[in-house]
Amino acid sequence: MSSTGTRVFVARLAGTTVFDPLGDQVGRVRDVVVLVRAKGAPRAVGLVVEVPGRRRVFLPLTRVTAIDPGQVISTGLVNMRRFEQRPSETLVVGELLDRTVQLVDGSGTGTIEDVAMERQRDGDWRVVQLFVRRDGTAKGGLLRRRGETVLVPVDAVTGLAATDVTQGAALMLARYEDLKPADLADVLHDLGLTRRMEVAAALDNERLADVLEELPEDDQVAILSGLERTRAADVLEAMQPDDAADLLGGLPDAQAAELLELMEPEEARDVRRLLAYEDNTAGGMMTSEPVILGPETPVAAALAHVRRQDLAPALASMVFVVRPPLETPTGRFIGVVHLQRMLRDPPHEPIGALVDTDIEAVSADAPLLHVTRLLATYNLLALPVVDAERRLLGAVSVDDVLDHLLPEDWREADDEPLPTPPPAPVRGRGPTARGGRDA
């Protein structure tokens, strides 16, 4: 273990790679778990480590042998059970950064920007200092320079354990800005409802929409219901229409109707159309916004459309070619052009000359099993959905099908545990069923 007196700033520790004694990568540090008590310095008990498979696990600090710049070395004994935060535990990055505290010297309030922990003689890690940005107002109304930062002992502030104050989330999100929406969704899922809402409030509409699409339905409903109504409608507009329809389907009818009225008419129209279909049918799974182009479109322009950053990989695998109008429900569906085919042909070639007309379109009421069989039989990533007049209504992709094939709680369920040796007992701290944390 690192020597006594080793001081570590948590905001810098976040993202650091964790290695086992042989030098193999275990995962990355995402947070530090501390116990905040009424008296005395908070005690750090472990790290939240993200391991392959997007699983977050608990690594007790008793099994950390070194914390150095750019790396954390563990004993190699990592319990792979998913981390679940206990009521007595606080996440430094998730819950302490951005917290407003009162300085006991009467110099006003400030916002925590970093937390320093230090290993003590008894082997425990304690929070010893806080990096605080003053708010500019001192006791008695005297003004101080706004934005001044100070490094203070942890006992120089009060309010560290406060849970009833509104808290920002800018610093937390800055630490997690590199996360994909699905990974940030995991972070939000592990937070308490109050903190989850504070973080959601700090996200822009596009980012929040992406994250909502990756959360379990209960979390989606709770977050959307906690937003101001106009903003909730804006977030729904930023979501994929099929995901927005699924989310609205989980709300009370009156609330869903109110949000639809607040959405832009064109966006609301697409969502209303999808809400009319049964859940486990092609219509209930499809998106109304695949890449739809006319047959005269040059290959170069079609490739530009599939390069859109917001387009799911499955939908980027093909272009749906139709007669005007090009918005769903479109003119007559002609066929599809596969991405690989467009890459082999000249940029000026019209895509109408490259159409694959053998792809079997499905009706909106086609059951899940039929759609699944077609995707598997022809090794496709998406299928066209058409009405009785062969107008394109949308496309159902393989990721939509997987969402419906997996159990409803698949986002929360643990994967099969990886084979790991049983945790070695630590003197005075027997391992528990939740990864060796002591009470």
Flag the least confident range among 148-162, 220-234, 348-362: 148-162
Convert the pLDDT of each residue in 157-204 to its tens digit: 998 876 655 677 888 888 788 888 988 998 898 888 888 999 999 999
- C-alpha to C-alpha distance for 85 and 98, rounded to whole angstroms: 19
User: So where are the chain's domains?
Assistant: 7-89, 94-158, 170-276, 292-405
pLDDT at 44: 96
Helices (H) and strands (E) in the chain, counts: 15, 19
**Rg of the chain in Å (alpha carbons):** 26
Which of these, 32, 4, 6, lies nearest to 18 by C-alpha position?
32
pLDDT at 55: 85
Is the predicted pLDDT of residue 421 greater than 50, yes or no? no
| Alpha carbon separation from 66 to 2, 5, 28, 437 (Å, rounded) | 5, 12, 14, 19
143 or 409, higher pLDDT:
409
423 or 245, higher pLDDT:
245
Strand, helix or coil at 375?
Answer: helix
CATH class of the domain at 94-158:
mainly beta
Is the predicted pLDDT of residue 412 greater than 80, yes or no? no
| Alpha carbon separation from 107 to 38, 114, 145, 310 (Å, rounded) | 22, 19, 11, 47
- C-alpha to C-alpha distance for 289 and 390, rounded to whole angstroms: 17
**Alpha carbon 321 to chain centroid, angstroms:** 33
Which of these, 104, 394, 137, lies nearest to 270 by C-alpha position?
394
Is the predicted pLDDT of residue 25 greater than 90, yes or no? yes
Residue 139 pLDDT class (50, 70, 90 cuts):
low
| Residue 51, amino acid | V
| Alpha carbon separation from 106 to 140, 142, 144, 157, 224 (Å, rounded) | 9, 10, 12, 10, 39
The percentage of the chain sitting over the pLDDT mark of 70, rounded to a whole number, equals 88
Please state which architecture CATH assigns to domain 7-89: Roll (2.30)
pLDDT at 129: 95
**Residue whose structure tokens are 């609330």:** 255
The DSSP bridge partners found for residue 149 are 133
Q: How many residues does the chain have?
A: 439
Residue 423 pLDDT class (50, 70, 90 cuts):
very low
Convert the pLDDT of each residue in 367-393 to its tens digit: 999 999 999 999 999 999 999 999 999
Residue 420 pLDDT class (50, 70, 90 cuts):
very low
What fold characterizes domain 292-405?
CBS-domain (3.10.580)
Flag the least confident range among 117-121, 191-195, 241-245, 414-418: 414-418
Task: Find out whether the peptide bond into 329 is cis, omega within 30 degrees of 0.
Answer: yes
Convert the pLDDT of each residue in 287-317 to its tens digit: 999 999 999 999 999 999 999 988 989 999 9
Is the predicted pLDDT of residue 427 greater than 50, yes or no? no
- C-alpha to C-alpha distance for 228 and 85, rounded to whole angstroms: 28
What fold characterizes domain 170-276?
MgtE N-terminal fold (1.25.60)
Flag the least confident range among 4-18, 90-104, 374-388: 4-18
